[in-house]
Structure 1
Amino acid sequence: MEIRLHKPADAGALADQVWPLYQEVFGDFESYESWRIDLYDRHAARDGYRLVTAVDEPVMSSTDSAVGSGSAMVGFAWGYIGRRGQFWSDLVCDSLPSATTEEWVGGHFELVELAVLPAYRGQGVGRAVHDKVLEGVTGRSLLGTNDDLQDPAVRLYLSARWRKLGVLRPGVQVMGRLPA
């Protein structure tokens, strides 16, 4: 398994590989084009954008002709520096107490997406992309996720020093993490 942090300039070239995995895990966009315009490219243009991918490279036999044939993206995470005036940051400010948002919102690293193909879950891929996307982040970090303590993603975040800051809406919490 190769876990790699990409340069922001490489995001566009990787979109065709990220999209199928995004769609399988989340399935919340009708088309590749709307996903690119409304989410992916917009996020990739933000300050501090970081994209991490996990690629499974099967062991090659001596009869395989091409090194890396059959490799596939199996996980990713991305985030950027969140600012007031952005949709999600403002939503957090409208939903959480002002004392919390004054401390946490604005200039924070926003972990926006983390996805792992179902067949690769429970094998450390989520932890690996999580840790790599946050590697070197020196300030506060925020994310939004469901509030089910049995959800594997929530368990991952809790084990990685994230804590609940408040409720965004019923069933969805905002979590924060201080730098190590």
Structure 2
Amino acid sequence: MTRIDLHDARGAEQYREDVLRVWTDAFGAVDCAHDWRTTVWDRHRSRAGYRLATAHDAERLVGFAWGLGTVDDPSSPAVRLYLGCGWRKLGKQSVTDQVMGKVLDG
């Protein structure tokens, strides 16, 4: 059975390498793991309100989601970018924000 947990920025740190492994499965290999850590992982975790949701099957990380919410507006540049990368709307976070993600097969 899959377990879902929610972590703040400090609690998320322990999942960095596991998230990178799943990230690679979802988005492809990163050019430089160190650059990914500093320009993506650390930068995003430093933002106020950051949350990481982890999905574990037994002890193995099988999925994750993080962020602050995305405005529910199809004309938003961020929304257009995510849709172009194969993401989709997964649900509403608030009246104005949505949760977006990429669902992997298998």
- The alignment's TM-score, normalised by the length of structure 2, stands at 0.68
Unaligned stretches of 5+ residues in structure 2: 98-106
Query: Structure 1 residues 29 and 177, CA, compared in 2 at 3 Å: closer, same or farther?
Result: farther
Match of 1:21 in 2: 22
For 1:160, which of 91, 99, 102 is the aligned residue?
A: 91
Q: Secondary structure at the match of 2:16?
A: helix
Query: Structure 1 residues 28 and 72, CA, compared in 2 at 3 Å: closer, same or farther?
Result: same
For 1:178, which of 90, 96, 99 is the aligned residue?
A: 96
Match of 1:115 in 2: none
Between structure 1 and structure 2, the one with the greater Rg is 1
- The alignment's TM-score, normalised by the length of structure 1, stands at 0.43
Match of 2:38 in 1: 37
Residues 2-25 of structure 1 show CA distances to partners (whole Å, capped at 9, x for unaligned) of 000012212222101111000111
Q: Secondary structure at the match of 2:47?
A: coil
Residues 51-85 of structure 1 show CA distances to partners (whole Å, capped at 9, x for unaligned) of 0000011xxxxxxxxxxxxx2111100003xxxxx
Write the distance in 2 (CA, Å) between the matches of 1:177 and 1:29: 35
Q: How many residues align?
A: 90
Give every structure 1 segment of 4 or more consecutive aligned residues whose post-TM-superposition deviation is greater than 3 Å: 140-143
Match of 2:83 in 1: 146
For 2:65, which of 77, 95, 98 is the aligned residue?
A: 77
Identity %: 29
Unaligned stretches of 5+ residues in structure 1: 58-70, 81-108, 111-139, 163-175
User: Which protein, 1 or 2, shows the higher relative CO under an 8 Å CA cutoff with sep ≥ 6?
Assistant: 2
What CA RMSD, in Å, does the superposition of the two structures yield over aligned residues?
2.9
